[in-house]
Amino acid sequence: MANYEFSQVSGDRPCCRLSRKAQICLGIGLLLLIASVVVAVILLWPRAPLVWEGKPTTKHFPEIFLGRCLVYTQILRPEMRDQDCKKILNTFKRAFVSKNPCNITKEDYEPLVQLVTQTLPCNKTLFWSKSKHLAHEYTWIQGKIFTLEDTLLGYIADDLMWCGDPSTSDMNYDSCPHWSENCPNNPVSLFWKVISQKFAEAACGVVQVMLNGSLSEPFYKNSTFGSVEVFNLDPNKVHKLQAWVMHDIEADSSNSCSGSSINELKLIVEKRNIAFACQDNYRPVRFVQCVKNPEHASCS
Amino acid sequence: MAAQGCTLSLWLWLWLWAPLLLPLLLGARAAAARWSGPGTTPHLQSIFLGRCAEYTTLLSLQPGNKNCTAIWEAFKVVLDKDPCSVLPSDYDLFINLSRHSIPRDKSLFWENNHLLVMSFSENTRRLMPLCDVLYGNVGDFLSWCRQENASGLDYQSCPTSEDCENNAVDSYWKSASMQYSRDSSGVINVMLNGSEPKGAYPVKGFFADFEIPYLQKDKITRIEIWVMHEVGGPIVESCGEGSVKILEDRLEALGFQHSCINDYRPVKFLMCVDHSTHPDCVMNSASASTQRESPSLFTAVHASLIISLLVALTSSSQV
Query: Which residue type, as a one-letter code, is found at position B266?
Result: P
pLDDT of residue B6: 59
pLDDT score for A146: 97
- CB < 8 Å to B63, chain A: none
Residue of chain A nearest B126, judged by CA positions = A292
Query: Which chain B residue has its CA at the smallest distance from A81's CA?
Result: B42
Domain segments of chain B as ranges: 35-278
Chain B residues with CB under 8 Å of A288 CB are 269-270, 273
Split at pLDDT 50, 70, 90, the class of B190 is: very high
Percentage of residues of chain B with pLDDT beyond 70: 77
CB contact under 8 A, B53 and A67: yes
Is residue B172 within 8 A of residue B139, CB to CB? The reply is: yes
Q: Measured between CA atoms, how close is B304 to chain A, in angstroms?
A: 25
Beta strand B220-228 with B186-193: parallel, antiparallel or unpaired? Answer: parallel
Confidence at residue B298, expressed as pLDDT on a 0 to 100 scale: 43
Task: Give the separation between CA B168 and CA B162, rounded to whole angstroms.
Answer: 13
3-state secondary structure of B277: coil
- Please give the sequence-ordered ranges of beta strands (E in DSSP) within chain B, or none if there are none: 37-38, 107-111, 128-129, 157-158, 186-193, 220-228, 258-262
Q: Report pLDDT for B309.
A: 56
When pLDDT is averaged across residues B34-42 and rounded to a whole number, the result is 96
Q: Indicate whether B20 pLDDT > 70.
A: no
Strand partners, B146: B153
- Spatial neighbors of A83 by CB under 8 A, at least 6 apart, are A69, A73, A116, A152
What span, in angstroms and rounded, lies between the C-alpha atoms of B217 and B184?
Answer: 10
Dihedral sign for Cα atoms in the order A148, A149, A151, A153: positive
Is the distance from CB of A122 to CB of A234 less than 8 angstroms? no
From A211's Cα to the closest Cα of chain B, the distance in A is 18
pLDDT exceeds cutoff 80 at A9: no
Judged by DSSP in three states, A71 sits in helix
> Is residue A10 predicted with pLDDT exceeding 70?
no
A165 vs B20, more confident: A165
Sequence letter at residue B20: L
> CA distances (Å), B36 to each of B80, B162, B296, in order?
20, 7, 45
Tell me, rounded to whole angstroms, the distance of Cα A129 from its chain centroid.
Answer: 17
Q: How far is B97 from chain A (nearest CA, A)?
A: 19
CA dist., res. B4 & res. B6, Å (int): 5
pLDDT digits (tens, 9 = 90+) for B277-301: 999 898 764 444 344 343 444 444 4
Q: Compute CA distances B210 → A204, B133, B177, B182, B205, whole Å.
A: 49, 16, 6, 10, 8
Q: Name every residue whose Cβ is closer than 8 Å to that of residue B74 and which is 6 or more positions away in sequence.
A: B93, B94, B96, B97
Residue B60 — very low, low, confident or very high, per pLDDT cuts 50/70/90?
confident
Mean pLDDT value across residues A194-209 = 97
Contact in structure between B123 and B132 (CB atoms under 8 Å): yes
CA–CA separation, B128 and B137 (whole Å): 11
State the average pLDDT for chain B: 86
The percentage of residues in chain B with a pLDDT greater than 90, rounded to a whole number, is 73
Whether the per-residue pLDDT at B259 is higher than 70: the answer is: yes
A138: chain B residues, CB-CB within 8 Å: 273
Over the stretch A281-300, which tens digit does the pLDDT of each residue have? 999 999 999 999 999 888 87
Cα A1 to Cα A56, A234, B145, B172, distances in angstroms = 84, 106, 107, 110
Catalytic residue among A163, A183, A204, A257: A204
Does the beta-carbon distance from B54 to A284 stay under 8 Å? no
Residues of B within 8 A of A68 (CB-CB) are 50, 54
Helix (H, G, I), strand (E, B) or coil at B15: helix
Judge: B49–A138 Cβ closer than 8 Å, yes or no: no
The identity of residue A145, as a single letter, is: I
Please report which confidence band the pLDDT of residue B316 belongs to, taking 50, 70 and 90 as the band edges. Answer: low
The residues near A187 (Cβ < 8 Å, ≥ 6 apart) are: A95, A96, A101, A104, A162, A163, A164, A176
If you average pLDDT over residues B234-243, what whole number do you get? 97
Which residues have C-beta within 8 Å of that of residue A113, sequence separation ≥ 6? A194, A195, A198
Residue B73 phi, psi dihedral angles, 5° rounding: -60, -40
Helices (H) then strands (E): counts for chain A:
11, 4
Contact A242, A277 (CB under 8 A): yes
Q: What does the alpha-carbon distance between residue A55 and residue A279 come to, in Å, rounded to a whole number?
A: 38
CA distances from A232 to A131, B191, B287 (A): 20, 44, 47
The CATH code of domain B35-278 reads 3.40.50.720
- Beta strands of chain A (E only): which ranges? 126-129, 205-212, 238-246, 275-280
> What number is the ipTM of this complex?
0.84
Longest dimension (CA), chain A: 129
Q: Which of A5-19, A59-73, A206-220 is least confident?
A: A5-19
Q: Which residues of A touch B (CB under 8 A)?
A: 58-60, 63-68, 70-71, 74-75, 81, 85, 137-138, 140-142, 159, 283-285, 287-288, 290-292, 294-295, 299-300
Asked if pLDDT for residue B124 goes beyond 80, the answer is: no
Please calculate the CA angle B66-B69-B73 and round it to the nearest 5 degrees: 115
Q: Catalytic: A122?
A: yes
Amino acid A246: pLDDT: 96
Cβ contacts of B191 within 8 Å, gap of 6 or more: B108, B109, B110, B111, B113, B116, B117, B120, B226, B228, B264, B267
Cβ of B270 within 8 Å of Cβ of A288? The answer is yes
What pLDDT, on a 0 to 100 scale, did the predictor assign at position B214?
Answer: 98
Instruction: Report phi then psi at B152, rounded to 5.
Output: 95, 155
Q: Under 8 Å CB-to-CB from B170, ≥6 apart: which residues?
A: B160, B161
Q: List B228's β-bridge partners, or say none.
A: B193
Report the alpha-carbon distance of residue B245 to residue A178 in Å, rounded: 58
CB contact under 8 A, B50 and A65: yes
Angle at B77 between CA B71 and CA B81, to 5 degrees: 155
Whole-angstrom distance, CA of residue A41 vs CA of residue A22 = 28
What does the DSSP assignment read for A132-164? HHHHHHHHHHH-S-B-GGGSHHHHHHTT-----
Percentage of chain A lying above the pLDDT 70 cut: 93
For residue A138, the chain B residue with the least C-alpha distance is B273
Q: What is the pairing mode between strands A126-129 and A205-212?
A: parallel
B274·A141 Cβ contact <8 A: yes
> What pLDDT sits at residue B11?
63
- Of residues B91 and B22, more confidence is placed in B91
Is the Cβ pair B267, A291 closer than 8 Å? yes
